Amino acid sequence: MGCPAKKVCRKLAGSALMKDEKLVEEILTAVVAAVEVPVTLKIRTGWDPEHRNGPLIARIAEDVGVQSLAVHGRTRACRYKGDAEYETIARIKESLSIPVFANGDLTTPEKSLEVLRLTNADGLMIGRGAQGRPWIFRELKLFLQNDNKKPSLDKTELRDIMLDHLDDLHHFYGQKRGVRVARKHLTWYCDNLANADEFRYRAVRVDSASEQLNLIREYFDRDDGGVSLAA
């Protein structure tokens, strides 16, 4: 119940469900009764800034047996605009006994730890902050261990992360679809790489998995010292 996409909400799905609290209760009750595995839920803080009913939806979820809750710090109307707010997440966490995970704008280890402090959440759900930067989890782990020094990521390791990721995408989706899906991931990686404009331009235009992988190897084989993480 967190997706704000118009094509989803037009069908009264995703975060649009938060407008109908009775239907939310009926759906969650049915799902919890139908399965033996733990049921978890993701929501937003409400439908719009004037209707932040996230705390009520959260209470309904716990009462019918949902085992944990993730909360994105925006309403459906806010989509991904503006800054996420964490006060509502903190209110939800304070009112529930099940685990609550904070979500929204968790783009750095520093910001993530600050959100943990502000919300007192049991954990974090990191989505867009990991796009093109999956090593953010390793960085966060070190910060949680009170080591504020970001882990080094050398050129070879960065290359291998990208190669392994794209290879997994190609195998999971199949060659044709995998290449298309990989394009957006390559774009996200390039957002975090210095001097990657030419590489980006070429990598999102090739049509085969082998070409995508070869372009990554070529980019990292450059000997001009131009390959590095963007500041």
Note whether 88 and 111 are within 8 A (CB): no
**3, 9, 78, 190: which one is catalytic?**
3
**What three-state secondary structure class fits 121?**
coil
**Residue tagged 């989509």 (tokens):** 79
Global pTM value: 0.85
CATH topology classification for 6-144: TIM Barrel (3.20.20)
Per-residue pLDDT of the chain (231 residues; tens, 9 = 90+): 988 888 887 777 888 899 899 999 999 999 999 999 999 999 999 988 898 999 999 999 999 999 999 999 999 888 888 899 999 999 999 999 999 999 999 999 889 999 999 999 999 999 999 999 999 998 888 888 876 666 678 889 999 999 999 999 999 999 999 999 999 999 999 998 888 899 999 999 999 999 999 999 999 987 555 556 665
CA dist 80 and 94 (Å) reads 25
Strand order in the sheet with 100-103: 40-44, 68-72, 100-103, 123-125
3 is catalytic: yes
Q: Is 170 exposed, middle or buried (0-12, 13-18, 19+ CB in 10 A)?
A: buried
* Phi-psi region at 49: left, alpha or beta (left = phi > 0; alpha = psi -120 to 50): alpha
Domain residue extents for the chain: 6-144, 155-220
How is residue 80 written in tokens?
């991904």
